A and B are shown apart, each in its own frame.
Chain A
Amino acid sequence: MCRLSAITSHDYFSPMENILALDTMKEGHDGSGLGLVLKDLGGEFEHLKAYPILSGIASNDGIRTLDRHMAAAGFREKYSWEPTIREVRGSEIRRRGHYFAKAYQYPQVYEDKTREEKEQLLMETRLTLRTLGEQDESLFVFSFYPDVITLKEVGDPLAVAEFFGLESNGLTAKIVLAQGRQNTNYAIYLYACHPFFLQGYCTMTNGENTAFVPIREFLSGRRFPGYMGYNSDSEVFAHILHYCHRQLHYPLPYYKDVITPLQDSEMARRPDADALRLIKKSLRPLCIDGPNCVIGFTPDGTLFMAQDAKKLRPGVVGGVPGKVALMSEECGLDRAVPKRDKARDFSPMKYDMVMVPPGAGEIRLWNQLNG
């Protein structure tokens, strides 16, 4: 089973905090990989927030392809970061080449374009780069968005963290999502590794999504180029979030109403029952049966956790004002935020959704029955 570790904080912190929390949950995952997404970056990237950052892995050939394509597309490299890779004794982690996070200046013609137009450009550029490098695996690109870095590799999370030198390279952020397992339900493949990111939306998921194929087909039919990949059944959770919130402009709690719609009798209590009935019918293929615990964030930095409505996966939220952790297990929470009032820890169930606004000032509980 995957183990999930998400922390949101008022202050910058090192992603090692997530990884050490993952390590306490080691009995629950098989140590087969690590996926990290950092948002609201500190350290070297604190003053580069306006610039989109491309994260990925490339061979020497891949780097050449990347530079050539980015130059041709009019992107100018503003800053380039590569972790100092350390060989980890006893670990089977194989260095693939360059792990990079490059900040770019937008092409000149895009300087004055809207946010949506810029997001479209970034996504199209990422997809083109993915296509260029996918065949020979010379280039993997995970995200291309301002103020976001993604790191992924196969291996034990703690060993991967050491491999990337995360404890000493000064990389910090205010929101970090970490997932401690490669996708073992399907082929081990970097593009199948959570968390998944699309235009500011990011999720990681614990569990297997039995409704994967109908959901994939529904999203693929939306004629949105970013709804692709699907090397993992969990990728659809990020895209459903993107679709509901960005494309359909639904407020965040409706994500829960889409993936786990209420029964008709339960809906009657909600003030928005008429809208819910229409949503349930029109978005019927996006309904999940679990077992899934989803943790994710939206572009404004709101972190959330939601469960499926039947089988549920472990998930607990707790913290102090200024620092909140959303974890698979209580021990992870103890490691991430030890000095908290444990009595106020919350495990979302069938109808619950937990939302933590940026800055982690409060934990908001939302109950689907009340709306």
Chain B
Amino acid sequence: MEPAERLDQNHELTLKELPYIIRWREDRCTRCGRCTAVCPVNAIEPTVFAQRLIHSEGPVPTPKTVRRLTQGVRQNVDIERYCTGCGSCSLVCPTVAIEPEYNPQHKFLIFKNKGGVPYKRGGRRNDPSPSTVDQLKFTRISMLTDPALDAGRHEFRIRTLLGRNLPPEKLPLEQRNGHLQVREESGFIPPVREIFPIRIGSMSVGALSPHMWEGLAMGVAYLNEVEGLPVVMCSGEGGMPPRLLKSRFAKYFILQIASGYFGWDEIVHAIPEMTEDPAAIEIKYGQGAKPGDGGLLMAYKVLNLIAKIRGVPLYVDLASPPTHQTKYSIEEAVAKMIQSMSMAWGFRVPVYPKISGTKTALAVLNNLARNPYAAALCIDGEDGGTGAAYNVSMDKMGHPIASNIRDCYLDLVKQGKQNELPLIAAGGMGKAGNLAANAAAMIMLGASAVDIGKYIMQAGADCFGDEYNRCNLCNTGRCPRGITTQDPKLYRRLDPDKVAERVVDVFKAADVELKKIFAPLGRSTELPIGMSDALGVADKAVAERLEISYVC
């Protein structure tokens, strides 16, 4: 007997299984078709409905049933064409007739593995609950015994040091005529950069569209050259446009080398022509969003510009392996890599590794603490973002950044090296919009600086993504905002000048907010790194774990 599935659609999903349900208002819709045209995943499509209407004509009501065909919008229930909730349809709708609505009862993950392929996406961890960092408050307010500083009157220096500081006992100083002078045979003094404590973290040309990357870069250059804010930005893996590399702006960029070494052939060849040293070199060993996993730039993103910058053929998948091929031990390979990169720029550039948040961070830290050439340690927590990863990596792998940084800082304190090796915290900074507060809290837990990625994509280019799995299409090359795509039809939606303007807005505002946090705490000259007495949290377990005050 023929199964009844064809008749009752038994093997189809209902809309209730999907994470977003399209609310379409037939009465408002003009059938212009913009929504279905813009949808990046074809989750909605034009369709024809048979309608049964009660119709009456003439002076006396004479109701009659009429059947007629009408056009409309229908949501697809195919799991491969699920609505991501991006809201592009609402954005373009001239009559506010359509919007996706989050469906908290969805069973999306149960079905999203068709063909045995696990769910892959871009974005961040889908956990909208407040992070630990967001729960921290600043509770040590200067009152009477210690008048608060005035952010408008007192000298303020919201700056941090990127690079290794020599311990005071090892400074090459000598006394001459009652003054201290640097000894002529001073030995190696590690390079140190003074930067703004919020940096733009690593996002590559390739993962980002040319317009997005250019917008960020222009914003950073403006902040440095016009606003006097020494903000730096990391290239991500994939090199930098050679013209930029050879320009005077190169000093505002941190060059990242990762396991695929993409772009480094071009960079190495550009070194003799570089007029400025880069701000630093970041060796990426891990990423908070997908710890222990590699990266992949899909072939369709490898267009002319990308291929040129990265030194690869057109339209080939570019896989960054999970680990550097040379990394057989931290003592050997990491130390050698740090030295090689230092040597390439004559030991004038800070070189540091970036790892994903992990319980083993202390082992890495201790090794770096003993390596005189290691300039810092960047730790990327579980709330970090990515352009592409398996959902399971993003949602279930990794380590929260707060306790990871705190443990590392307190370990350095035990060794008396907390000022020698700066810690940089990444992953989830500004997750709920509180960028300056998150940065300040991390600094007081022991970080010297923080990195942002998703935050600047949201603030700078209105990225749709959020912790409810909204959009998160970065891996598909179909970013509806034009941020993470190499498709000119999509990225021309994004105006690089507007991105740059927003980048400037974000950092100027953060600078003011940091002052508004530090001034009442009575700090203004040096960054209050490790000033944990200023922090409080209304959760005893968190307070105990982070060794800060419990307040309620």
Binding site for B on A (CB under 8 A): 1, 184-185, 207-208, 210-214, 217-218, 220-223, 243, 247-251, 254, 260-261, 263-264, 271-272, 274-276, 278-279, 281-285, 287, 289-291, 309-311, 371
- Pairwise interchain contact B522-A289, C-beta atoms closer than 8 A: yes
Binding site for A on B (CB under 8 A): 142, 145-147, 149, 154-155, 157, 161, 165-169, 171-173, 175, 178-182, 189, 192, 194, 413-419, 521-526, 528-533
Within the complex, the shortest CB–CB distance from A269 to chain B, in Å, comes to 13
Q: Which residues of A contact B524 (CB under 8 A)?
A: 289, 310
- Pairwise interchain contact B522-A210, C-beta atoms closer than 8 A: yes
Q: Which residues of B contact A221 (CB under 8 A)?
A: 413-418
- Pairwise interchain contact B155-A263, C-beta atoms closer than 8 A: yes
Q: Which residues of B contact A243 (CB under 8 A)?
A: 168
Overall SS of chain B's interface = loop
Tell me the bound Cα distance from A166 to B173 in angstroms: 46
Known interface pairs A213-B533, A282-B168. Does A220 touch B413 (Cβ–Cβ under 8 Å)?
A: yes
Q: Which residues of A contact B417 (CB under 8 A)?
A: 221
Q: Which residues of B contact A210 (CB under 8 A)?
A: 142, 146, 521-523, 531
Select A309's contact among B521, B525, B530, B533, beta carbons within 8 Å.
Answer: B525
- 4 additional contacts, CB 8 Å, given A208-B142, A217-B418, A276-B180? A207-B146, A284-B161, A285-B419, A289-B522
**Listed A/B pairs (9) with beta-carbon separation below 8 Å:** A210-B522, A212-B533, A214-B530, A218-B418, A221-B413, A222-B416, A251-B180, A282-B166, A289-B149
- Pairwise interchain contact B155-A279, C-beta atoms closer than 8 A: no
Nearest residue, chain A, Cβ from B167:
A282
Select A283's contact among B142, B168, B414, B522, beta carbons within 8 Å.
Answer: B168
Tell me the bound Cα distance from A282 to B194 in angstroms: 13
**The 8 A-B residue pairs with the shortest CB-CB distance in the complex, in nearest-first order:** A221-B416, A210-B522, A208-B146, A275-B180, A287-B526, A272-B179, A213-B533, A282-B168
Q: Which residues of A contact B532 (CB under 8 A)?
A: 213
Known interface pairs A210-B142, A221-B413. Does A282 touch B419 (Cβ–Cβ under 8 Å)?
A: yes
Tell me the bound Cα distance from A195 to B198 in angstroms: 40
Q: Which residues of A contact B149 (CB under 8 A)?
A: 289, 310-311
Among B166, B168, B529, max chain A CB count under 10 A is at B168
- Pairwise interchain contact B173-A275, C-beta atoms closer than 8 A: yes
Overall SS of chain A's interface = loop
Q: Which residues of B contact A185 (CB under 8 A)?
A: 145
Within the complex, the shortest CB–CB distance from B390 to chain A, in Å, comes to 40
- Pairwise interchain contact B147-A281, C-beta atoms closer than 8 A: no
Tell me the bound Cα distance from A291 to B413 in angstroms: 26
Tell me the bound Cα distance from A261 to B524 in angstroms: 12
Known interface pairs A309-B155, A309-B525, A310-B524. Does A208 touch B145 (Cβ–Cβ under 8 Å)?
A: yes
Within the complex, the shortest CB–CB distance from B485 to chain A, in Å, comes to 42
Tell me the bound Cα distance from A220 to B161 in angstroms: 22
Within the complex, the shortest CB–CB distance from A226 to chain B, in Å, comes to 15
- Pairwise interchain contact A223-B416, C-beta atoms closer than 8 A: yes
- Pairwise interchain contact B146-A218, C-beta atoms closer than 8 A: no
Select B189's contact among A260, A278, A291, beta carbons within 8 Å.
Answer: A278
Tell me the bound Cα distance from A1 to B182 in angstroms: 41
Select B175's contact among A220, A251, A284, beta carbons within 8 Å.
Answer: A251
Among A214, A221, A250, max chain B CB count under 10 A is at A214
Within the complex, the shortest CB–CB distance from B189 to chain A, in Å, comes to 7
Q: Which residues of B contact A311 (CB under 8 A)?
A: 147, 149, 154
Q: Which residues of B contact A371 (CB under 8 A)?
A: 179
Select A310's contact among B155, B180, B419, B521, beta carbons within 8 Å.
Answer: B155
Q: Which residues of B contact A309 (CB under 8 A)?
A: 155, 525
Nearest residue, chain A, Cβ from B155:
A310
Among A218, A282, A283, max chain B CB count under 10 A is at A282
Known interface pairs A211-B523, A275-B173. Does A285 touch B416 (Cβ–Cβ under 8 Å)?
A: no
Within the complex, the shortest CB–CB distance from B11 to chain A, in Å, comes to 63
Q: Which residues of B contact A279 (CB under 8 A)?
A: 168, 171, 173, 180
Tell me the bound Cα distance from A279 to B192 in angstroms: 13
Tell me the bound Cα distance from A263 to B194 in angstroms: 12
Q: Which residues of B contact A212 (CB under 8 A)?
A: 533
Q: Which residues of B contact A222 (CB under 8 A)?
A: 416
Within the complex, the shortest CB–CB distance from B399 to chain A, in Å, comes to 23
Nearest residue, chain B, Cβ from A253:
B178
Nearest residue, chain B, Cβ from A258:
B168
Q: Which residues of A contact B189 (CB under 8 A)?
A: 278
- Pairwise interchain contact B181-A274, C-beta atoms closer than 8 A: yes
Q: Which residues of A contact B180 (CB under 8 A)?
A: 250-251, 254, 272, 275-276, 279
Q: Which residues of B contact A275 (CB under 8 A)?
A: 171, 173, 179-182
Tell me the bound Cα distance from A152 to B50 in angstroms: 96
Q: Which residues of A contact B172 (CB under 8 A)?
A: 278
Q: Which residues of A contact B168 (CB under 8 A)?
A: 243, 248, 279, 282-283
Q: Which residues of B contact A310 (CB under 8 A)?
A: 149, 154-155, 524-525
Tell me the bound Cα distance from A310 to B171 in angstroms: 28
Select A287's contact among B166, B175, B521, B525, beta carbons within 8 Å.
Answer: B525
Tell me the bound Cα distance from A287 to B419 in angstroms: 12
Tell me the bound Cα distance from A279 to B530 in angstroms: 20
Within the complex, the shortest CB–CB distance from A116 to chain B, in Å, comes to 16
Tell me the bound Cα distance from A287 to B192 in angstroms: 18
Within the complex, the shortest CB–CB distance from A99 to chain B, in Å, comes to 29
Within the complex, the shortest CB–CB distance from B420 to chain A, in Å, comes to 8
Among A212, A250, A285, A289, max chain B CB count under 10 A is at A289
Select B529's contact among A207, A214, A220, A254, beta carbons within 8 Å.
Answer: A214
Q: Which residues of B contact A271 (CB under 8 A)?
A: 179
Tell me the bound Cα distance from A285 to B161 in angstroms: 12
Tell me the bound Cα distance from A260 to B157 in angstroms: 13
- Pairwise interchain contact B531-A214, C-beta atoms closer than 8 A: yes
Q: Which residues of B contact A220 (CB under 8 A)?
A: 413, 416
Nearest residue, chain A, Cβ from B409:
A217
- Pairwise interchain contact B165-A282, C-beta atoms closer than 8 A: yes
Known interface pairs A213-B530, A284-B161. Does A278 touch B416 (Cβ–Cβ under 8 Å)?
A: no
Tell me the bound Cα distance from A33 to B154 in angstroms: 33
Within the complex, the shortest CB–CB distance from B155 to chain A, in Å, comes to 7
Within the complex, the shortest CB–CB distance from A260 to chain B, in Å, comes to 8
Q: Which residues of B contact A291 (CB under 8 A)?
A: 146-147
Nearest residue, chain A, Cβ from B157:
A263
Tell me the bound Cα distance from A260 to B82 in angstroms: 60
- Pairwise interchain contact B165-A281, C-beta atoms closer than 8 A: yes
Within the complex, the shortest CB–CB distance from B375 to chain A, in Å, comes to 13
Nearest residue, chain A, Cβ from B153:
A310
Nearest residue, chain B, Cβ from A247:
B169
Q: Which residues of A contact B154 (CB under 8 A)?
A: 310-311
Within the complex, the shortest CB–CB distance from B163 to chain A, in Å, comes to 9
Among B161, B165, B173, B189, max chain A CB count under 10 A is at B173
Select A248's contact among B142, B169, B529, beta carbons within 8 Å.
Answer: B169
Within the complex, the shortest CB–CB distance from B38 to chain A, in Å, comes to 51
Q: Which residues of A contact B165 (CB under 8 A)?
A: 281-282, 284
Within the complex, the shortest CB–CB distance from B228 to chain A, in Å, comes to 12
Tell me the bound Cα distance from A223 to B171 in angstroms: 18
Select B166's contact among A248, A260, A278, A289, beta carbons within 8 Å.
Answer: A278
Q: Which residues of A contact B157 (CB under 8 A)?
A: 263
Q: Which residues of B contact A287 (CB under 8 A)?
A: 525-526
